[in-house]
């Protein structure tokens, strides 16, 4: 494991785990942590030996959002615009990453922390985890978190969370579609690794093409989405790896998995 100032990076076989490491600050996204996350994601983007990425939090919380104390110490419009732009860039890197990204939510995820959960491709939480976009309680509407949240949960549910500042529990987060499922805290790491390993075992080209297509088609009209998906699927079907796997399936031979 490589320890940086505020981020832990652990690579086991084809699974990379990035752990937010400010437990005394509930893993708030300081400038330093944002920079380290962005750097790590940029490196992983070009790492064809990594199949799946996990984002976790150390201590009792997953992520408490932005570091409000640091923000108040740098009170200027220019600083805030730069900070939120950098955070938005980091969030979009997660979506642009060729590898699927799983949030391993061990505790509270609020404001930009909830945004981080919503941005990840999948999320597994501890049964005790809570989720909120509570900035409105301080007079600060969670504008940037609303982008990711509204793309995960229904419009009225997202708006209520943003306007009320109320937290939801893990059961409600599953119902809303914010997380995939929840498990006992003691089982969280094992459950996340199991999901990551299951995905890592799938053919590499299909994982990469699949994630890219999934997000690209969401922004298209229905006819354009089907045209895009048809083009991608035709190209996918022409790849040697797919041809071999389809033939193996038809001939009842073992299908090649993983990288």
Q: What is the CATH number of the domain that holds 87?
A: 3.90.226.10
Q: What is the pLDDT of residue 179?
A: 98
Domain boundary among 161, 181, 200: 200
Q: Which has the closest alpha carbon to 146: 138, 137, 157? A: 157
Q: What is the CATH number of the domain that holds 230?
A: 1.10.12.10
Judge whether residue 2 has pLDDT over 60.
no
Are 164 and 211 found together in one domain? no
Whether residue 256 lies inside any domain: the answer is no
Q: What is the pTM of this model?
A: 0.93
186 plus 220 within the same structural domain: no
First to last CA, the chain: 23
28 CB-contact burial (10 Å; exposed 0-12 / middle 13-18 / buried 19+):
buried
Tens-place pLDDT, residues 223-257: 999 999 999 989 888 888 888 888 888 888 887 77
Tell me the per-residue pLDDT of 140-171, one tens digit each, with 9 for 90 and over. 999 999 999 999 999 999 999 999 999 999 99
247 or 18, which is more confident?
Answer: 18
Same domain flag for 145 and 244: no
Range of the domain at 120: 2-200
pLDDT (tens digit, 9 = 90+) per residue, 38-86? 999 999 999 999 999 999 999 999 999 999 999 999 999 999 999 999 9
Q: How far apart are CA 148 and CA 204, in angstroms?
A: 27
Q: Looking at the predicted structure, is the pLDDT value of residue 4 above 70?
A: no
Looking at 182, 200, 218, the residue that finishes a domain is: 200
**How many angstroms separate the CA atoms of 216 and 88, rounded?**
18
């Amino acid at each position: 494991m490589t320890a940086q100032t505020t981020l832990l990076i652990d690579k086991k076989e084809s699974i990379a785990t990035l752990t937010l490491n400010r437990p005394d600050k509930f893993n708030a996204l300081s400038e330093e942590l944002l920079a380290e996350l962005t750097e790590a994601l940029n490196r992983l983007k070009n790492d064809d030996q990594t199949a799946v990425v996990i984002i976790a939090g150390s201590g009792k919380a997953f992520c408490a959002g932005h570091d409000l104390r640091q923000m108040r110490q740098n009170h200027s419009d220019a600083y805030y615009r730069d900070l939120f732009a950098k955070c938005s860039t980091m969030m979009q890197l997660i979506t642009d990453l060729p590898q699927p990204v799983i949030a391993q939510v061990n505790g509270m995820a609020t404001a930009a922390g909830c945004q981080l959960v919503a941005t990840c491709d999948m999320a597994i939480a501890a049964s005790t985890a809570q989720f909120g976009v509570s900035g409105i309680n301080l007079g600060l509407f969670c504008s940037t978190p609303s982008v990711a949240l509204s793309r995960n949960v229904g419009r009225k549910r997202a708006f209520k969370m943003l306007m009320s500042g109320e937290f939801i529990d893990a059961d409600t987060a599953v119902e809303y579609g914010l997380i995939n499922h929840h498990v006992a805290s003691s089982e969280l790491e094992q459950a996340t690794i199991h999901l990551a390993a299951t995905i890592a075992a799938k053919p590499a080209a299909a994982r990469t093409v699949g994630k890219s297509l999934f997000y690209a088609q969401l922004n298209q009209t229905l006819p354009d989405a089907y045209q895009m998906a048809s083009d991608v699927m035709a190209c996918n079907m022409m790849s040697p790896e797919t041809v071999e796997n389809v033939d193996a399936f038809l001939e009842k031979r073992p299908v090649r998995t993983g990288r």
